[in-house]
Each structure stands twice: as C-alpha cells, then as structure tokens.
Amino acid sequence: MHRHHIRTSSARAEVQKPNSEPSPATRRVLVGLIKYRVMVRKRLWHFLLSLLDTRVPILASHSLSTESRQQIKEFLQAGDVLLESNRAYPGWQLLSRLMVGSPWMHAAVYVGNGIVVDAGTEPRVARIAIDEFLNTTDIIVYRPRFAGPEDAQAAVSYVLKQIGRPFNVSFDHGDNRSFYCSQLVSQALLQMPHPINLPVERVLWKQVVSPRSIARSQDMQCIWPDGSGKPALERALEQGSARLSISVKPYLEPLRWSVAFGAIAGGMCIPMHQPAQALMFCAAMAVLTLGRASFKT
C-alpha cells in the first residue's frame, strides 16, 4: 500500500477515535460529588463523636467517694498516668469494650500542683484541675517505671509543651501535630532519656495506642487502688457485693431512630454496591443505643 494511503488511514482512525476525557461540566459534577461525600462523612464522624459524648444521669453512689479522691491526690506524683472510666458516658464505655476490650476509656498525665493534662476533656490538649478530673465513677493510677527523676521531668515537660494542640479526631497514631488521650501519654514516655514503648494495637483499620496499652505494659506499675486494674463496679460484681440489672425496654424508641439514621447515613456515605458495609453501619448504630445498661447496687 502507498505511504500516502497509510498516513490517510491513520489520520482517519485518529479522527474517529472517541474522546475519553470527560467534559469540563462532567468534571465539575464529579468533583462536587466527591467533595459532598467527604463533607457528609466528616459531619457523620463529628455526629458520632457528639453521640458518644452524650451524658446520662448516674446515682451519686456511683461517683468516686470523697475519701477515694483524697487518697488519689495523696498518692499522685508528677508523671503518673490516670485511666478513667465514667458510667455517665455509656457510649464511650460500650465502644471501648467492643473495639479495645478494655473498661478504661480515657487517659491523662499528672504534671503536679493539682493539675492533669489530657486530650479529650477539651477539644485540644489542655490543663484540667485534678478535682474536676476526679469527678467521675472509676479511676486507676499507673506510675511509669522511671529510671530516674530526669525521666519524669522529661515526660512532664513534653506534655506541657503540647498544651493547645488540637484533638486528633482521626485517631492517626502517626500524627504528632494533634493528639488523642493515650497517644499523648505514649509520646511523652518516648521522649524520656530511658524511653518506654507502649504496645500498639490494631482497632478496625487503624494502629492505635489505647488506654489498655497502658494497663498492659510491664513498664507501668498500678499504684491505686489495689493493683487489680479493674473498675470499682467490676470488682464489686466479682465479690458479690453488687448485682447487674440490664433493662432494654426504655431504649426501644431511640433504637428505632438509630436504625433509621444508620440506614440513611449508610446510603449517603457508602455506595449501593456495598450493601454489607451499609448494613454493618446500621447495626453499629443500633448496638450503641441498645448497649446502655442501668446498674443497681
């Protein structure tokens, strides 16, 4: 075949080849949909955090006694780590049990002078008065096995320097510009001349340091209350001095709305070709509501 005909055939093929690039209007629509999906997921995540932060009334007898608070304040030294579990926030308790397998849901570092520093009581790393922090139902205190006073000083100094940093809402353990509670503790212990490495655990698809990592570490010594590492109610149940009563009926109505919200949110955030993920999301919302329990002693 003549070269001219070959070139002509190739040119026609190029002309007839359909354009695979989307038009500017289509591109704008796609970008808008992606942004909308990201926005919905972000708002949903913040809604779930606000749901977990919902406080429910508890009996005064469930709070730490005045005697226990005074004992803790007498025991505390700069560098000690406090783990907390608060029955006034059943959402966080249930999430901690399901995802981490631990009754402890929050951690803070005592820096001396009646002050603890944590990430989570405020939406940032902040100073909290010890009396305010002890306004809860269960506390346990761990003391890192410091090699010397310089270790405690380094840990406290690091924590104080992070005050004002934002809360790590993504729970990204590798992000040192923001912190969640036990991440702050972990990073402080790594800054010491003789660092302590807390175990990293996998929760869903993330690698995290949880309050359970602190309780399980051989380099952390429980100094209050009795070394068992268990909340007061759990110890009372084991000793037979308390009984557990679970009532489901009061939560059937909010459960219905949680299932509806889960279905709507799942449909908005998860493609329709992934029905299993939408169903799991819906079930998780139902469990969060259903898992509230009333304790009678």
Write the CB contacts of 271 (distance below 8 Å, at least 6 apart in sequence).
none
Residue 201 belongs to a domain with what CATH number? Answer: 3.90.1720.10
Question: What would the DSSP string read from start to end of 69-96?
Answer: HHHHHHH--TT-EEEEE-TT-HHHHHHI
Asked whether the CA dihedral 188, 191, 197, 201 is positive or negative, the reply is positive
Same-domain check for residues 116 and 211: yes
The answer to whether residue 105 is domain-embedded is yes
Please give the tally of structural domains in the chain: 2
Between the alpha carbon of residue 245 and those of residues 57, 132, 183, 234, 237, the distances in Å are 16, 29, 35, 13, 11
Q: What is the dihedral of CA 268, 271, 275, 279, to 10 degrees?
A: -30
Instruction: Give pLDDT, residue 105.
Output: 86
The answer to whether residue 53 is domain-embedded is no
Is pLDDT at 257 greater than 60 in this prediction?
no
Same-domain check for residues 271 and 220: no
Same-domain check for residues 286 and 139: no
The answer to whether residue 230 is domain-embedded is yes
Same-domain check for residues 175 and 285: no
Average pLDDT over residues 138-145: 95
Residue 102 CB coordination number (10 Å): 19
Query: Containing domain of residue 94, as a range?
Result: 60-241
Same-domain check for residues 75 and 215: yes
Give the pLDDT band of residue 256 (cuts 50, 70, 90).
Answer: low
The answer to whether residue 32 is domain-embedded is no
Average pLDDT over residues 63-87: 91
Give the pLDDT band of residue 42 (cuts 50, 70, 90).
Answer: low
Write the CB contacts of 155 (distance below 8 Å, at least 6 apart in sequence).
79, 109, 144, 188, 189, 191, 192
Percent of the chain with pLDDT over 70: 57
Same-domain check for residues 86 and 207: yes
Average pLDDT over residues 193-219: 88
* Helix, strand, coil percentages for the chain (3-state, nearest 5): 50, 20, 35
The answer to whether residue 27 is domain-embedded is no
Question: What would the DSSP string read from start to end of 9-28?
Answer: HHHHHHHHSPP-SPPHHHHH
Instruction: Give pLDDT, residue 47.
Output: 65
Compute the distance between CA of residue 229 and CA of residue 146 in angstroms, rounded to an integer: 20
End residue of a domain, out of 221, 241, 261: 241
The answer to whether residue 199 is domain-embedded is yes
The answer to whether residue 198 is domain-embedded is yes
Instruction: Give pLDDT, residue 169.
Output: 83
Instruction: Give pLDDT, residue 113.
Output: 94
End residue of a domain, out of 201, 217, 241: 241
Same-domain check for residues 216 and 291: no
Q: Can you tell me whether residue 227 is helix, strand or coil?
A: coil
More confident residue, 33 or 95: 33
Is pLDDT at 255 greater than 70 in this prediction?
no
Is pLDDT at 10 greater than 50 in this prediction?
no
Instruction: Give pLDDT, residue 28.
Output: 78
Same-domain check for residues 272 and 207: no
Give the pLDDT band of residue 292 (cuts 50, 70, 90).
Answer: very low
Q: For 179, which DSSP code?
A: B
Structure tokens at 290: 């259903």
**Segment 87-139, tens digit of pLDDT:** 766 666 676 667 667 788 899 999 999 999 999 889 899 999 999 999 988 99
Is pLDDT at 259 greater than 70 in this prediction?
no
Instruction: Give pLDDT, residue 110.
Output: 98
Same-domain check for residues 186 and 272: no
Same-domain check for residues 194 and 269: no
Strand order through the sheet with 115-122: 124-129, 115-122, 106-112, 81-85, 138-144, 220-224
| Residues 131, 72 contacting (CB under 8 angstroms) | no
Same-domain check for residues 254 and 207: no
Please name which of 215, 236, 259, 235 lies closest in space to residue 100, comparing C-alpha atoms: 215
**Segment 224-247, tens digit of pLDDT:** 886 554 555 555 555 454 454 444
Average pLDDT, the chain: 75
More confident residue, 203 or 141: 141
Same-domain check for residues 141 and 256: no
Is pLDDT at 283 greater than 70 in this prediction?
no
Instruction: Give pLDDT, residue 220.
Output: 95
| Residues 85, 64 contacting (CB under 8 angstroms) | no
